[in-house]
């Protein structure tokens, strides 16, 4: 296999694994802040118990996120040195800003949150939980700035054989930054909320820690509902950004081979890139034109408007996108049913729903991965859209066998880390929340 292909496989593997964790911890950091805020406001010990329990699950996930995150920062130089030379003038800045503005906040106040109980005041702990949430949300901002610049480069000119900055503000707020940021953060909040809904459901099924569980479920179900509903307009905003700025990607996402007015939206279909058509297609004529451009008559460029050598891989763009949307629909239904059961006060007795919620924990994670695959594969064959091809970006001095070796080690180590993560999460959940000396009555009931 060529070094380029191996470097791509390694990048996909390491980012794919890393990306399990940040969305979860970004989402959970805000839920933790809400719990901490309730504790500060009401002084009720149950909120402290909640914060400390969910904090434990958060900390395990955060640790793996940190450990696998170092890889990402090093990897641009290690495997993609030609890319790094070409974009360093622009791309390095958001990475440095991420460390300066976000990682320090997150990690320092994470230490305070984990080790500050019993020695720091509630107000300081509240502030620390806010800083962890702000820090992790800011880190998402800077990394999405960096990635969005690869999707829709702006604020640069080509000089000295590389992209050089001409306007920092335009580079940071390039056309896709904000839509992609909002979409990603909302997905992160969904991930955290469904994680908490699912684990609360497990406690409900086992009728354990009822006071703790009811409050956790109420909070997380509400957040899950709001963030899932919000994903519709935010996802739409991103889709119209793609339609406007990366039309080949939109065409691949939608399996649109032919340009034309009244572009159809596929309800179902299997694209065939060789025959350049969609099999078993069920379409809504004009719906794609209308969704993407607000006008059913709008002319939409299909893949035929571009040379085939510049098409993204169709399957790996089309299916991840559609499965992601499918998962979203399911999660929306889940929260609506859950919300209804809650209002009818039948949530705790509906074992079927609780089981469903428990087994749905992985789905937002999968949707996150699929969304990223759509975004990244849909940009191919470019590493920087219309500026640099992926095949020209790889390190010259790194031989293929070394990348193969590191892929093998990464695979083993990451498999172990994943098993360890699941094992420790299960252990923490089985141990359950812990109560302070001021909550004797809850401990007995639990």
CB of 264 to other proteins, least distance (A): 44
CB of 91 to other proteins, least distance (A): 7
- How far is it, in rounded angstroms, from Cα 330 to Cα 332? 5
CB of 61 to other proteins, least distance (A): 10
CB of 10 to other proteins, least distance (A): 10
With respect to other proteins, which residue has the nearer C-beta, 290 or 410? 410
With respect to other proteins, which residue has the nearer C-beta, 128 or 266? 128
CB of 100 to other proteins, least distance (A): 5
With respect to other proteins, which residue has the nearer C-beta, 110 or 331? 110
Structural element, H or E, at residue 114: helix 104-115
With respect to other proteins, which residue has the nearer C-beta, 105 or 334? 105
With respect to other proteins, which residue has the nearer C-beta, 89 or 304? 89
Query: How many C-beta atoms surround the C-beta of residue 111 within 10 A?
Result: 12
Q: Which residues of 249-267 are buried (b: 16+ CB within 10 A; e: fewer)?
A: bbbbbbbbbebeebbbbbe
Residue with tokens 């702006």: 154
8 Å CB contact between 377 and 58:
no
Binding stretches for other proteins (CB under 8 A): 59-60, 63-64, 66-71, 73-74, 76-79, 81-82, 84-85, 87-93, 95-101, 103-105, 107-112, 114-116, 119-120, 159, 162, 164-166, 168, 395-398, 402, 405-406, 409, 413, 417, 420, 424, 427
Residue 296: exposure state from Cβ atoms within 10 A (0-12, 13-18, ≥19): middle
With respect to other proteins, which residue has the nearer C-beta, 104 or 359? 104
Q: How is 190-252 classified by DSSP, letter by letter? A: HHHHHHHHHHHHHHHHTT-SHHHHHHHHHHHHHHHHHHHHHHHHHHHHHHHHHHHH-HHHHHH
Backbone φ and ψ of 164, nearest 5° = -115, 145
């Amino acid at each position: 296999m060529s070094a380029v292909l191996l470097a791509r496989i390694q990048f996909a593997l390491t980012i794919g694994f890393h990306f399990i964790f940040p969305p979860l911890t970004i989402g959970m950091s805000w839920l933790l802040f809400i719990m901490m805020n309730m504790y500060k406001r009401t002084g009720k010990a149950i909120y402290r118990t909640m914060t400390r329990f969910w904090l434990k699950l958060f900390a395990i996930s955060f640790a793996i996120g940190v450990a696998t995150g170092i890889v990402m920062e090093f990897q641009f130089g290690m495997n993609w040195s030609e890319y790094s030379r070409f974009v360093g003038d622009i791309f390095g800045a958001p990475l440095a800003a991420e460390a300066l503005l976000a990682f320090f906040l997150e990690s320092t106040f994470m230490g305070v949150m984990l080790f500050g109980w019993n020695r720091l005041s509630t107000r300081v702990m509240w502030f620390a939980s806010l800083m962890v949430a702000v820090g992790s949300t800011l880190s998402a901002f800077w990394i999405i700035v960096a990635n969005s610049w690869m999707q829709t480069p702006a604020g640069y000119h080509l000089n000295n054989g590389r992209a050089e900055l001409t306007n920092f503000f335009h580079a940071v707020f390039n056309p896709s930054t904000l839509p992609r940021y909002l979409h990603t953060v909302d997905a992160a909040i969904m991930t955290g909320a469904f994680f908490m809904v699912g684990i609360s459901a497990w406690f409900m099924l086992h009728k354990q820690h009822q006071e703790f569980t009811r409050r956790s479920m109420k909070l997380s179900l509400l957040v899950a509902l709001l963030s899932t509903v919000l994903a519709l307009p935010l996802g739409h905003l991103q889709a119209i950004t793609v339609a406007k700025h990366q039309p080949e990607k939109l065409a691949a996402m939608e399996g649109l081979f032919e340009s034309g007015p009244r572009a159809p939206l596929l309800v179902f279909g299997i694209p065939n890139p060789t025959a350049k058509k969609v099999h078993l297609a069920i379409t809504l004529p004009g719906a794609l034109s209308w969704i993407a451009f607000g006008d059913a008559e709008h002319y939409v460029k299909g893949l035929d408007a571009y040379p085939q050598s510049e098409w993204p891989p169709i399957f790996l763009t089309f299916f991840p996108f559609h499965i992601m949307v499918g998962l979203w629909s399911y999660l929306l239904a889940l929260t609506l049913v859950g919300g209804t059961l809650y209002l009818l006060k039948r949530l705790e007795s509906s074992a079927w729903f609780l089981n469903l919620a428990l087994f749905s924990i992985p789905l937002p994670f999968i949707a996150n991965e699929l969304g990223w695959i759509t975004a990244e594969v849909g940009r191919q064959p470019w590493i920087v859209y219309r500026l640099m091809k992926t095949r020209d970006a790889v390190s010259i001095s790194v031989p293929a066998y070394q990348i193969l070796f590191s892929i093998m080690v990464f695979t083993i180590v990451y498999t172990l880390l994943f098993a360890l993560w699941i094992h420790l999460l299960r252990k923490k959940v089985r141990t359950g929340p812990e109560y302070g000396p001021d909550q004797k009555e809850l401990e007995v009931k639990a």
